A and B are shown apart, each in its own frame.
Chain A
Amino acid sequence: MTASIEPRRAVVPFADQLADALREVRANALASLLSALAVTIATLGVLLVASITQGLGRSFERLAFSGGPVLTIAPDPRPSLSALRPTRRDYVALRSALPDARRVSLVQSLGTQTLASARATAAIPTVTADYSLFQTGRYDVLAGRPLVPSDGPEQRRVIVLDRAAAERLGLDVADVGSRIRLGGQFVHLVGLVKAKGLGADSSGGDGLAIVPDAVVPEASASPSAAALPLVIEVEVPPGADLDTWQARIGILLRRERNLAGAQQAGFAISSSERVRAGIRSTTALISLTATLLMSISLVVGAVGIVNVSLISVRHRYFEIGLRIAVGATHRLIMRQFLLENVIVAVAGALVAIGVFALLAAGANDLLGGVLVLDASPLVIGLAVLAAVAVGVVSGVAPALRAANLDPATALRT
Chain B
Amino acid sequence: MNLDAPVASLRGVAKTYATDGGPVHALRGVDLDIRRGEHTAIVGGSGSGKTTLLSLLGCLDRPSAGSVAIHGVVTSQLDDEALASLRNEGIGFVFQQFHLIRSASVAQNVELPLYYRGVARAERRRRAAAALDAVGLGDLAQRFPQQLSGGQQQRVAIARAIVGDPHLLLADEPTGNLDAENAALCLRMLMADAAGDRTLVVVTHDLDLARRCRRVVTLRAGECVDDRVD
Contact = CB atoms under 8 A, between A and B. Distances in A.
B1 A4 contact: yes
Indicate the member of B87, B97, B104, B121 with the most A CB atoms within 10 Å.
B87
Nearest to B89: A5
A322 B165 contact: no
B99 interface: yes
Given A23-B103, A325-B87, A5 B116 contact: no
A327 B99 contact: no
A331 B85 CA distance: 13
Contact of A408 (B60, B89, B121, B165): B60
B60 A16 contact: no
Indicate the member of A24, A28, A328, A330 with the most B CB atoms within 10 Å.
A328
A195 interface: no
A7 B103 contact: no
B85 A327 contact: yes
Contact of A11 (B101, B118, B196): B118
Contact of A411 (B60, B87, B102, B117): B60
Contact of B90 (A5, A16, A26, A331): A5
Interface string B157-179: 00010001111000000000000
B205 to A, nearest CB: 16
A12 to B, nearest CB: 6
Contacts of B1: 4-6
Interface stretch (B39-47, B76-84, B130-138, B216-224): B76-84
B112 interface: yes
A143 to B, nearest CB: 64
Nearest to B54: A408
B55 A326 contact: no
Interface string A49-90: 000000000000000000000000000000000000000000
Contacts of B84: 10, 324, 327-329, 332
A318 interface: yes
A265 to B, nearest CB: 81
Interface in B78-129: 78, 80-90, 93, 95, 97, 99, 101-104, 108, 112-113, 115-118, 121
Interface string A392-413: 0000000000000011100110
A325 B81 contact: no
Indicate the member of A5, A10, A12, A20 with the most B CB atoms within 10 Å.
A5
A153 interface: no
A365 interface: no
B226 interface: no
A321 to B, nearest CB: 8
B59 to A, nearest CB: 9
A323 B116 contact: yes
Given A327-B89, A411-B60, A319 B101 contact: yes
A27 interface: yes
B89 A330 contact: no
A255 interface: no
Nearest to B102: A27
Contact of B80 (A6, A12, A23, A330): A330
Given A10-B88, A27-B103, A5 B71 contact: yes
A274 interface: no
A327 B116 contact: yes
Contacts of A330: 80
A1 interface: yes
B93 A1 contact: no
A8 interface: yes
Contact of A10 (B51, B95, B97, B118): B118
Contacts of A184: none
B55 A20 contact: no
Interface in A296-331: 318-319, 321-331
B60 A5 contact: no
Nearest to A330: B80
B100 to A, nearest CB: 8
A257 to B, nearest CB: 87
A407 B165 CA distance: 22
B151 interface: no
B35 interface: no
Contacts of B102: 27
A244 interface: no
A9 interface: yes
Contact of A16 (B58, B115, B164, B196): B115
A408 B61 CA distance: 6
Contacts of A26: 103
B103 A323 contact: no
Given A23-B103, A328-B84, A408-B55, A2 B71 contact: no
A204 interface: no
Contacts of B117: 10, 327
A408 B49 CA distance: 13
Nearest to B100: A322
B155 interface: no
Contacts of A7: 78, 81-83, 85-86, 89
Given A16-B115, A329-B84, 7 more contacts: A5-B71, A23-B108, A26-B103, A28-B103, A318-B99, A326-B88, A408-B52
Interface of A: 1-2, 4-13, 16, 20, 23-24, 26-28, 318-319, 321-332, 406-408, 411-412
8 contacts: A8-B85, A10-B85, A10-B118, A26-B103, A326-B113, A326-B160, A332-B84, A408-B52
Interface of B: 1, 3, 51-52, 55, 58, 60-61, 70-71, 78, 80-90, 93, 95, 97, 99, 101-104, 108, 112-113, 115-118, 121, 160, 164-167, 196-198
Sorted nearest first, the 7 A-B pairs with minimum C-beta distance are: A327-B88, A27-B103, A7-B82, A327-B116, A7-B85, A5-B90, A408-B55
